[in-house]
Amino acid sequence: MKSQKLLSYTRRAITDYDMISPGDKIAIGISGGKDSLTLLYAMSKLKKFYPIPFEIEAITVDLGFKDFDTSRLKEYCESLGVNYTVCKTHIGEIVFDYRKEPNPCSLCSRMRKGALNDCAAELGCNKIAYAHHKDDVVDSFLMSMLYEGRIHTFSPVTHLEKSGVTLIRPLIYALEGEIRAFARANDLPVCKSPCPADGVTKRQESKDIIDELKVRVPDVKDRIFSSIEGAGIDGWSRH
């Protein structure tokens, strides 16, 4: 995927779902994965010509795992002219050593999001951009049906009443394969996740099911995504 196409996806999602208002200060959580690094690239470039002025801050929530080096992420942010903050935590120790969670992902996710929200608030951000892409939308939809028995997926825009922060997801029109190709072509400083549970989640099971369905229906992801857009699911009404 070329830069122009990435920016087109991002701008269209932001416009379709009214994700940005004048003067917004948007935090972008940088995990070191391809998705968040691509989102940071897109938002930093879009900021230069988008008709609505906004600011961005890059934040990494350090879970406390050994050998997690943020130096390349800092250099990447500097190259884009984006302020970078590392929020150090003991989340990994709490989840894996103290709590010894057999299914750690849910607790870790809640704690990580809480730390990101707190750091974003300290930096004066009123919005947080998540790097969820089209595959994530589809995977979450499938997970809700298979494991919760309901028709649901996350919304392009979510307002958190308790914290007053609004979550936006500008990459919802981009496929994971396109993002992977973009990250590779642009030599983004992708870091492997140090999490011991990486790759063994319920989300990965859903991805595997989608891959099996693609054998029979090659455009299954686009079909499911179109169904989500037309199903009247809360938050999926375009402006």
Q: Give the predicted TM-score (pTM) of the model.
A: 0.91
d(CA 150, CA 164): 27
Identify the helix (H) or strand (E) that includes residue 99: none
Report phi then psi at 47, rounded to 5: -55, -30
Tell me how far CA of residue 209 lies from CA of 133, 140, 143, 216, in angstroms: 17, 12, 10, 12
Domain encompassing residue 52: 3-230
Q: Is residue 237 part of a domain?
A: no
Widest CA span in the chain: 49
Q: Is residue 215 part of a domain?
A: yes
pLDDT values of the chain reduced to their tens digit, one per residue, 239 residues? 789 999 999 999 999 999 999 999 999 999 899 999 999 999 999 999 999 999 999 999 988 777 778 899 999 999 999 999 999 887 766 766 666 656 666 777 788 888 899 999 999 999 999 999 999 999 999 888 888 888 899 999 999 888 889 999 999 999 999 999 999 999 999 987 666 665 556 677 788 888 898 899 999 999 999 999 988 888 898 87
Q: Is residue 238 part of a domain?
A: no
Question: Residue 156's CB: how many other CB atoms inside 10 A?
Answer: 23
Q: Is residue 139 part of a domain?
A: yes
Task: For residue 195, give the 3-state DSSP assignment.
Answer: coil
Q: Is residue 181 part of a domain?
A: yes
| CATH, residue 99 | 3.40.50.620
Q: Is residue 236 part of a domain?
A: no
Q: Is residue 239 part of a domain?
A: no
d(CA 200, CA 205): 8
Q: Is residue 155 part of a domain?
A: yes
Number of domains in the chain: 1
